[in-house]
Amino acid sequence: MAETPATTTPATTAAPAPAGPTPGGLNPEHLQPDYGPVADGVAINGGLGNALTIDLGDGYLQIDTGPSLEMAEHMMSRLDPAKPVKVIAFSHGHLGYNFACAAWLARAEKLGHPKPTILAQDAAATLIRRYEQTQPAMALLLALQFDSAIPPLDQTLPLTMPDATFSDSWTMLGGDRDVHVLSAPSETPGAIAAWVPDVKVLYVGPAGLPVEPNIGMPLWPTGHDEVWADTLERLAGYDAEHLVGQYGKVIHGADAVREHLMTNAKALRFIRTAVMHHLNAGHTLNETINSITYPAEIFDHPALATTYSSRADVVRQVWSSISGWWHRNPTTLAADPDTEVAAAVRSAITDPAHVLATAQQLVDDGKHTLALHVVDLLALAPDDDVTTASARKLKAEICTHLGTATDDFSRAALYLSAAKVLTDPPDRPTGIR
């Protein structure tokens, strides 16, 4: 059985803490695991979020291996060295959760245990293969998402490919218990759940977050709202007494478990219905985002906090899943090079000082997001003259303000990352101007 962890436990480590202003809202990288036993033979010993250790009697099933060597060593120290880790299952395909997988494989070799089977849902394996092909881009996106230093172009990531995959379900037959690993498409198509029937523990990974479902993240492909809701409703049908999500506290009690899952499902169903209403009424995406009223009986639930992403993210994703990428402005149908567009706009401006003054006045009036639209008339230009430099300086100041003023972590990090790139451009292209 996995032991109860010591009172003092190391925090997870991932992106280094940035200098200067830091994003508001909930950074999951800094959210402590809910350390300790969940039920007999099932424990959370660390991880990026709640990595789950399940004692099978004759070995362990480990869901996620942690983001760093330090965390992995802490997690492995809680295990009985006489028992092998038989299977390592990836909760989903996102980066970081299994950056320390190699350390677990090295432990097995050192102890003379058989190599653990690395298990993932089919779609997660596909995603990890894509990461292998796009490592410089993925390293950049990680830095932007968590407001950390922009990595060099040759940055590599500690990826481990699974050697076994499944489509719908996979059953682990242990000496003392069986565990059913289930496909649970939600935040990503390759997410999993796990059902431990003898102690009624249901692990739901990223399907059951302690915040509003983060569909429509700005940098990463995500799942489909209807599929996510279907998953939540299906998982709510299990007779679970203990619910372990990717993050947050373990939920105990069948009624509380069901309420948590169904509340998330209801929120996703409501937003889809609202988006379809506005689409049918001929409204644009921004009109839709700014018009939806969210009923308190659903959205005031603690499980639907918007401290990591915003409801607008969900609306954007749902909109695009129904209507595609065009948001009704015919100008955006063309694919003119960004530099040519910015140069053409700049050539039409005869008084750039007035544009800067207008942007500054909007800032002074507290209308920072509107000020960004105005300052971009100058800041996106390909030149590096004094006017463009002044515009980019003002844009960086606006982004810094917005990044420290919002409780939405994703937007806060992107605003602050952009401000740093604008102030001190790195040696590699980022697409930010």
CATH number at residue 339: 1.25.40.880
Average confidence score pLDDT of the chain:
92
Q: Which long-range contacts (CB under 8 A, 24 or more apart) does 377-381 make?
A: 377/345, 377/346, 377/349, 378/346, 378/349, 378/352, 379/422, 379/433, 380/338, 380/341, 380/342, 380/345, 380/433, 381/342, 381/343, 381/345, 381/346
> Is 3 within a domain?
no
The tokens 């996102």 sit on which residue? 94
Last residue of a domain, one of 219, 240, 265: 265
Q: Are residues 283 and 259 in the same domain?
A: no
- Please tell me whether residues 295 and 352 are part of one structural domain: no
The Cα–Cα gap between 348 and 301 comes to 50
- Its pTM stands at 0.91
For residue 430, being part of any structural domain is answered with no
Entry field: residues in the chain: 433
Question: What confidence tier does 261 reach under pLDDT thresholds 50, 70, 90?
Answer: very high
Q: Is the pLDDT of residue 11 over 50?
A: no
Q: Which residues of 32-66 are buried (b: 16+ CB within 10 A; e: fewer)?
A: ebbbebbbebbbbbbbbbbbbbbbbeebbbbbbbb
Same domain assignment for residues 74 and 135 = yes
Same domain, 339 and 309: no
Q: Do 185 and 163 share a structural domain?
A: yes
Q: Is residue 274 part of a domain?
A: yes
**Interval 84-139: pLDDT, tens:** 999 999 999 999 999 999 999 999 999 999 999 999 999 999 999 999 999 999 99
Q: Of 240, 265, 290, at which residue does a domain stop?
A: 265
| Whether residue 106 is found in the same domain as residue 252 | yes
325-329: list long-range contacts, CB under 8 Å, 24+ apart: 327/284, 327/285, 327/286, 328/284, 328/285
Does residue 311 share a domain with residue 344?
Answer: no
Residue 224 lies in a domain: yes
pLDDT band at 21 (very low <50, low <70, confident <90, very high): low
Report if residue 17 sits inside a domain.
no
Tell me the pLDDT band of 218, cut-offs 50, 70 and 90. Answer: confident
Long-range contact set of residues 279-287: C-beta below 8 Å, sequence gap at least 24: 279/319, 279/322, 279/323, 284/327, 284/328, 285/315, 285/316, 285/319, 285/327, 285/328, 286/327
The verdict on residue 290 lying in a domain is yes
Domain final residue pick, 278, 304, 323: 323
DSSP state of 199: T
| CA angle, residues 20, 213, 28, in degrees to nearest 5 | 35
| In a shared domain, residues 229 and 274 | no
- Which is more confident, 371 or 146? 371
Region 187-200: mean pLDDT is 97
Phi, psi of 297, deg, nearest 5: -65, -20
What average pLDDT does range 390-404 have in this prediction? 97
| Residues 250 and 124 reside in one and the same domain | yes
Q: Is pLDDT of 179 > 70? A: yes
Q: Is residue 329 part of a domain?
A: no
Q: How far is CA 189 from CA 116, 254, 267, in A?
A: 24, 26, 19
Same structural domain, 118 and 217:
yes
Domain count, the chain: 3
Q: What is the pLDDT of residue 311?
A: 92
Task: Give which of 66, 126, 42, 56 is closest to 87, Cα–Cα.
Answer: 56
Is the same domain home to 297 and 163? no
- Let me know whether 211 and 249 are in one domain: yes
CATH of the domain at 179: 3.60.15.10
Domain of 112 in residue numbering reads as 28-265
pLDDT digits (tens, 9 = 90+) for 129-150: 999 999 999 999 999 999 999 9
Residue 359 lies in a domain: yes
